[in-house]
Structure formats: C-alpha cells, structure tokens
Amino acid sequence: MENLLQGLRAAGEETRLRLLVLCGHSELTVSELTQILGQSQPRVSRHLKLLCDAGLLDRYQEGSWVFYRLSGKSNAALLGRTLVDLVPESDPVVSRDLQRLEAVKKTRVIAAEQYFRENAAHWRQIRSLHVPEKEVENSLKQLFKGRDIVDFLDIGTGTGRMLELFGPEVEHAIGVDSSREMLSFARTAIEDAGLRNCQVRLADMYNLPFANQSQDAIIIHQVLHYADTPEKAIEEAARLLRKNGLLAIVDFAPHTIENLRTEHAHRQMGFSKNDISDYCRRAGLNPREVSILAGDPLTVNIWTATRENYVSVGVAS
C-alpha cells in the first residue's frame, strides 16, 4: 500500500502529471521536457526526481544525455500507465504539451534522416548483394514462433527493425546500439509503431548493462561482421541468456567482397557454419542447426543456440 500511496502523491501535482503523460508517449531528456513545458530546468529536474523515486519513471544515461520514460517493471509501473491512460488528450494543457512533443520528435527525425541520407547508398548496395530482408525476417519469426518470451534483447539494433518485428510478440524488448544516430531513428520508429513495451539504449555489445540470465531471447542481426572479436560478443550474449532461452545470430557466410572491408568498415569477411557454432559452444551454449539463405554473391546464415543449464563464462556484468 505504501508504494501505491507514494506513487499517487508523486503524481498528484499538475506539472508532475504532465511529465508523466509526456514520458508515457516518448523517451525524453530534461532539456526536451523543459522545452515542452516552458519551465526552468532545475524545477523540471526536481519533479522528475520525485517521479523516479516513486517508481513511476525510469531514468537512464545515454552518453552525456539522460533520458526519462514511463517505468516498465517497477511496482508502480501499472499505476503510471493507468494514470497516463486516464488523462484525456483533449485537455487543453495536455493537448498543447503533445503538440510540442511532436515538434521535438520531428527535430529528432530530421537529424536521423540526414544521417540516413548520407549512408543510404552504401546500405542499398549491400542489400542488393544478398537475399531480401523479408526472407530473413520470415525465417527469424519461424525460429521464435511459439516461444513464451518475456524479455527480448536486440544487440546492435540499428534502425530498430527487430524491435518492430518482435515487439508485438513479447512482454518487454530492449534494443542496444553504440550509435546515437541509429538510436534516435529506432526510438522514433518504435514510438510511431505504438510499441510501449520496447525501448532502446546506448551500450557496448562487449559489456552490456544487464544481469546474468536476464533474457529469454536475444538477436544479433548483421552486427558481428563489424566486431573485432565476435566471439567476445557471443560470450556476452551467452551470459545474459536464461535457461531454455534462444540466441539467434544473422550474418554473412564467408565471401571475398573486399570493398565491404575497405569501404563499409566490415571487420570480418563472413563466418563459416562452424565458426559461430564453435563460439557458441565455448560460451556454454548448445548450437542448433544453421539456416542458410543462399544469395549471389552474399549468402546469409542464421545460427541459433540455446542454454539448457547456466554456466558462468567469466564475463563481468
């Protein structure tokens, strides 16, 4: 009861309720919230602290930025979502706040689109070398079909496409990436799709900020060819996988397209079936059959592995 009362007291003030509604619609920084509300940063920060202390909001660091969002897993999470849903969007104050929120989100999209314009030609060239992404996505959906997934992790989320694909099928989903530009795009994509159960984080795939055995399903989609030490990334993913959890890795089979290394920063020229399976085995996982999607000149492989029993591999959390 005390947690409920604390949450109600924290939300029972106009500015804090407005903040709660805004963070229920989008992940926002203090400066963005200050811009929307037209109030001073110290005042907004004080209100945010009270909402976080009550468990209604989550606070997390992304480089030099601090983002706030409606809590997803705290004891007060249901209260927060209920309060947001009860506030009518037609209310004059809330309606104005949401209009200003759309302006903030539009600014983010413009910055992300500029980044994509600068890189789109490279991505189109790579996509033209392998099977359509739709085939890859359909194969992934079949691999995860029928699984009861509470916690889903997408390592190297990029545009957030895997979150869009699996978000509606899981309880909680997080995408991590080391590119702020990619995260900005992904954040907007999942918000536009109404995926309130999804979020994105700035993180290093070799040192992820999650506890051992905290994920039911993990995807590493077209990421390992950028890795200097792909086996370390798999080891870190294995640390996070729960018993009976499933890891799926999508990447290229061995190839000889040298310009992917020289012009697109690929560190690895694809992986053999045994390469990834061996990495999984060393990380304490049980490799399963590899799906092969043949292309010309690039073939896409999908490796999967499960954990039957948790074995520590010595990676710090």
Q: Is the pTM of this model over 0.85?
A: no
pLDDT 10s per residue in the chain (317 long)? 777 888 889 899 999 999 999 999 988 999 999 999 999 999 999 999 999 999 999 998 876 788 999 987 777 888 999 999 999 999 999 999 999 998 888 877 776 666 656 665 566 566 667 778 899 999 999 999 999 999 999 999 988 999 999 999 999 999 999 888 888 888 988 988 999 899 999 999 999 999 999 999 999 999 999 898 999 999 999 999 999 999 999 999 999 888 888 777 788 999 999 999 999 999 999 999 899 999 888 999 999 999 876 444 443 33
Domains defined along the chain, listed by start? 2-100 (1.10.10.10), 129-306 (3.40.50.150)
* Alpha-carbon gap, residue 233 to 235, rounded angstroms: 5
Q: What string of DSSP letters covers 176-232?
A: EES-HHHHHHHHHHHHHTT-TTEEEEE-BTTB-SS-TT-EEEEEEES-GGG-S-HHH
Query: Is beta strand 300-306 parallel, antiparallel or unpaired with respect to 151-155?
Result: unpaired
Inter-CA distances, 280 with 59, 237, 311, Å: 33, 9, 12
